[in-house]
Structures are given as structure tokens and as C-alpha cells.
Amino acid sequence: MDKAVILAGGQGKRMKAEMPKPLFKVLGEPMLEWVITACESADISDICVVKGYKGEMIDEYLAGRYTTVNQAERLGTGHAVQQAIPFLSNEKNGNTLVLCGDAPFIDEETIRQSLMLHKQNDNAVTVITAELDDPTGYGRIVRTDNGIKGIVEHKDATPAQRSIKEVNSGAYWFKTGDLISLLGKLTNDNAQKEYYLTDTVSIAISEGKKAGAYRSNNANIIKGANDRRDLLELNNYARMEVINKHLINGVEFVCTDGVIIERSVEIGLGTSIQPNTILRGKTKIGEGCIIGPNSVAEDCIIGNNVVFNTAQAYQSEIEDGANVGPFVHIRPDSRIGSDARVGDFVEVKNSAIGSKTAIAHLAYIGDSDIGRKVNIGAGTVTVNFDGVAKSRCVIGDYSFVGSNTSLIAPLRLGKGVYTAAGTTVTRDVPDYALAIDRGELKVNEGYTLRKMKAKK
């Protein structure tokens, strides 16, 4: 079985935050998750993550999904992989991919194609490389007719070697048995007194083993983040890559200012994404929608021909033809039915809104089930919490809830029920009834004149 070892022990001091660098996010996901996803996409599921600084945060994030080992002292990349030797020793006959947890743009094709070359050439080690227009600072790949001679660090390279544009990405394939052997032969005889994984290449060659290099077509596998500016560049690059994917698939962007779409989001043909729109998680949007401006949808399913304007929705469903916004907040576990209208300053929480129902403005609907073709007047509140427990309201089809109605849950309004404006409903109302609560109106004539005279 092929394995992967992901190096995720870096602190990233220049990030100026108390967390491991691979947990910093690119488009809403930790860089480590990008690397794991690439492995999973390439059918590599036997993964070991080498943690170090604040390693408990890595464990908490992974939540037992994969093996972790701890690098108590940061003594170089070779030392980091040495911590995974017990994991590697479980199956020595396959191959092992070593990746950096803070280089998020490694991709499935690069992993698969490099493994194919690694196996075809019977290499002990295959370095994954990329070609850069400006390779300054990177280790150069010195090739031979049938493999590579080694990796030369920039500071040690001759002028001729510095002209080489093929550089080491920091990712490698090894025969697992050879990797275990080579790790045991690393020394720290260098200025930094560290054990470098790059030295495994020269050791393998000196022992007559084959070493090669796979040049990836994706130069972005090199990209990483050493500080916040680098992280911003990664986010900007990833953001535009996702937007370009959707453009190719027929999604419209009139302007990309403030548009952030996580890579897991799906968007249908002909949908228009307006400025300052953020789409997160497993959100899936249908065809012909207008999403935004100034909107957020997270883990939502949005149907076809939906208008979602200046609104926020979380873990909810909005069905075909619904019109939501502006200034709407849809909280988790809600469903907005087809052709429903949810308008200005409405909050919906854990509720089902029936098709063609209108909640035009200024209402709170919580823990409720509302039928179809219901009208909810301005100022309506479902009083769902008594300070101890939440209760539900049920409103039947074709009902008309007057402005400033308070519905005290638990409560059921039947089919076709009307409530008069200003009514507080405290008990169930049968089908086709009118609920009206009007106390005696008292008029105190001359009150304001007396009040103003008293202030003189």
C-alpha cells in the first residue's frame, strides 16, 4: 500500500500567531486540509501527519482521521520524517509520498503522474519538481541522462547551476524500504546541525540506487506561506482560480470585488454572483440565480432561479424561485419554500416556510412550521423560548397573520386563520377562525395640553 507522510510541525513565527503554520487557512480551509485532500483524491488514504509546535491543535483538527507522530525537537525535515519510521515500518514494500503541510497546491495529477514515473523507472527516490521563471532561493535539480545527480541549494550553486530553472518542490516519492534505510544514514554535519531530507538523494545515488525527478506542470506546488503577506497571496491566487473555474462553467461575475468562493461550492449554469458575496462549505447553488451583493451562504442548498440579495444563510435550504432579502438572516436548519418571499429585516431560525408564503418585512420566525400561501405581517414574532425550553409554532396554509402579532409557542393556527393586528395569541386557533385580542381603548382628552403646560 502506498503511504503519505505530511510534515506539519512548523511554527511559522513570522505569522505572529500561536498555532501551527499548516492550520492557517486558504479559502476557509487549513493548508493541511488542501494537502490531505490531494492525497485522498489520488487514492492515498494511509497518511501520517508529523506534528510539532502546538501539536495538540493538529490532533484536535484531525479528530482521529489519520495517524499523527510528534517531532519534539525541530531538527530538520529529515528528522521530521524519522519520527514516522514506526508508521512506515508497518508496510515496507510499497511507496511513500512525503509532502509539506504548508504547500497547499499540490494536486492529484502531480501525485499520480509522479508515482507512475517513480515506479516505471524503479527509482529509490523521485523528487517532485517545478520550473520557475525566477528560481532564486530554491534548490536546483541537476539532471543526468537517466536521472538526477542531486539537488544543489541556491547558496551553494555555481553560476551555471543557478541558471537552472527546475527546482525542488519539497515533495518526494520513495520506495518505503529505501526511505527507512536512507533516514538511518542522515547526519547533521552542517552549519544548522539539522538532518535534511534532501540528503537522502545524494546518499541513494552514492549507494548505486536510482534517483529521478518528475517535473510537474503545476508550478504552484512550490507556493507556500512564511508570513501573512504570503498567506494573502495564496488566498488571492486560490480565490481567482476558483472564480475562473466557475467562469468556464458558465457562471456570471459582473465584478469580482469581495467575492470569496470556497473550492467545495457548486454553482449552476447562468447564475450571477454579485460583488461582496461569500460562499462557503458545501453550498450548492442551482441555475439562473442572482446571489448577492453583500451576501453570505454557508453549507446551504439553493435551488434554481433564486434571488438572494444582501442576506445571510447557514445550513439551510432555499427552494426554486424564492426571493430572499435584503437584510435577511436565515439561521441553521431552515427551509424556504419555492416562490416564497422573505424580505427586509426578517430572521428565520430552525423553521420551514411553505411555498408562495410571504414574510415581507420586520419579523422573527423561530422554531416554526409555516404552510403555503401564508402572509406574515410586519412586526410578527414567534415567541419560541420561555427561558427554559424552545417550543414550536405551526401555521396552516392560507393563513393571514396581522401586523405586530405575537404567537406564544407551543401554538397551532389552523388552515386559513386570520389574526388581527396587534393580537397576542396564546392558544390554538381552529381552521378559518379570526383571532383578535383588543383591549378597551382609553382616550384621555386634553392630556398633551396639560402635560406641555406643566413643563412651562
Cβ atoms of 320 and 338 closer than 8 Å:
yes
Count of CA atoms in the C-beta half-sphere (13 A) of 81: 33
Does the pLDDT at position 154 exceed 90? no
What's the rounded mean pLDDT across residues 305-313? Answer: 98
Q: Which of the pair, 332 or 91, is modelled with greater confidence?
A: 332
Q: How confident is the model at residue 192 (pLDDT cuts 50, 70, 90)?
A: confident
What's the rounded mean pLDDT across residues 142-166? Answer: 90
Does the pLDDT at position 456 exceed 80? no
Across 89-189, where does the E strand assignment appear?
Answer: 95-100, 125-131, 140-144, 147-152, 166-175
Count of CA atoms in the C-beta half-sphere (13 A) of 262: 22
> What pLDDT sits at residue 342?
98
Q: How confident is the model at residue 121 (pLDDT cuts 50, 70, 90)?
A: very high
> What pLDDT sits at residue 153?
85
What's the rounded mean pLDDT across residues 95-100? Answer: 98
Does the pLDDT at position 114 exceed 90? yes
Express each pLDDT in 229-265 by its tens digit.
Answer: 999 999 999 999 999 999 999 999 999 999 999 999 9
Name the phi and psi angles at 427, rounded to 5.
Answer: -145, 165
What average pLDDT does the chain have?
Answer: 95
Q: Which of the pair, 331 or 439, is modelled with greater confidence?
A: 331
DSSP 337: P
> What pLDDT sits at residue 420?
96
> What pLDDT sits at residue 243?
98
> What pLDDT sits at residue 263?
96
Residue count of the chain: 456
> What pLDDT sits at residue 190?
81
Does the pLDDT at position 20 exceed 90? yes
Cβ atoms of 270 and 287 closer than 8 Å:
yes
Task: Report the percentage of the chain scoring pLDDT > 70.
Answer: 100
- Domains, the chain, ranges and CATH? 3-222 (3.90.550.10), 339-456 (2.160.10.10)
What's the rounded mean pLDDT across residues 191-202? Answer: 90
Most confident of 72-76, 194-198, 244-248: 244-248
Task: Tell me the whole-structure pTM to 2 decimals.
Answer: 0.91
Cell for 349? 431560525
CA distance 297 to 282: 10
Cβ atoms of 158 and 209 closer than 8 Å:
no
Single out the residue of 215, 233, 216 nearest to residue 224, CA to CA: 233
Does the pLDDT at position 66 exceed 80? yes
What's the rounded mean pLDDT across residues 284-294? Answer: 98
Q: How confident is the model at residue 155 (pLDDT cuts 50, 70, 90)?
A: confident
> What pLDDT sits at residue 129?
97
Whether 118 sits among the annotated catalytic residues: the reply is no
Name the phi and psi angles at 177, rounded to 5.
Answer: -60, -40
What's the rounded mean pLDDT across residues 68-86? Answer: 95
Secondary element (H or E) of residue 117: helix 108-120
Express each pLDDT in 273-284 by its tens digit.
Answer: 999 999 999 999
Cβ atoms of 52 and 71 closer than 8 Å:
yes
Does the pLDDT at position 302 exceed 90? yes
What's the rounded mean pLDDT across residues 349-354? Answer: 98
b or e along 3-28 (b: 16 or more beta carbons within 10 Å of the residue's beta carbon)?
Answer: bbbbbbbbebeebeeebbbbbbbbbb
Does the pLDDT at position 443 exceed 90? no
Question: Which residue among 79, 118, 246, 361 is the active-site one?
Answer: 361
What's the rounded mean pLDDT across residues 213-219? Answer: 96
Cβ atoms of 454 and 437 closer than 8 Å:
no
Does the pLDDT at position 156 exceed 90? no
Q: Which of the pair, 116 or 442, is modelled with greater confidence?
A: 116
